[in-house]
């Protein structure tokens, strides 16, 4: 199982050492992303899945694609602490939270 989390819960996951993974494509990521994330695009995810560590929070534009990846990690790869950021980067920015433009 994975957990859907709200933006205000992200810091708690970061404090417990969760890896933040943005699964959007590079052109989307370059338009702005949540601080401290690693970009592993969905199109490359299968070949790069070994880069992901448990615990992990998955992020995309709205929470849809990242939810699919969160499900995959929990159900197929045995990850035990997996979260999906509801609202994704769009929801994060709509709340006035910081968006970075630099590569991570």
Strands, sheet with 38-39, edge to edge from the N-terminal-most edge strand: 3-5, 82-85, 56-59, 19-22, 38-39
Q: What is the DSSP letter of 31?
A: T
104 counts as catalytic = no
Q: Which two tokens stand for residue 43?
A: 């199109």
Catalytic residue among 21, 60, 70, 83: 60
Residues noted as catalytic: 60
């Amino acid at each position: 199982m994975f957990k859907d989390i709200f933006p205000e819960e992200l810091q708690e996951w970061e404090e417990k050492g969760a890896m933040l993974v943005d699964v959007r494509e590079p052109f989307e990521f370059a338009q702005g992303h949540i601080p401290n994330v690693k970009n592993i695009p969905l199109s490359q995810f299968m070949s790069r899945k070994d880069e992901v560590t448990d615990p992990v929070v998955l992020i995309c534009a709205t929470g849809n694609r990242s939810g699919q990846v969160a499900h995959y990690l929990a159900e197929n790869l045995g990850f035990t602490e997996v979260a999906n950021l509801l609202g994704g980067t769009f929801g994060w920015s709509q709340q006035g939270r910081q968006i970075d433009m630099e590569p991570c």
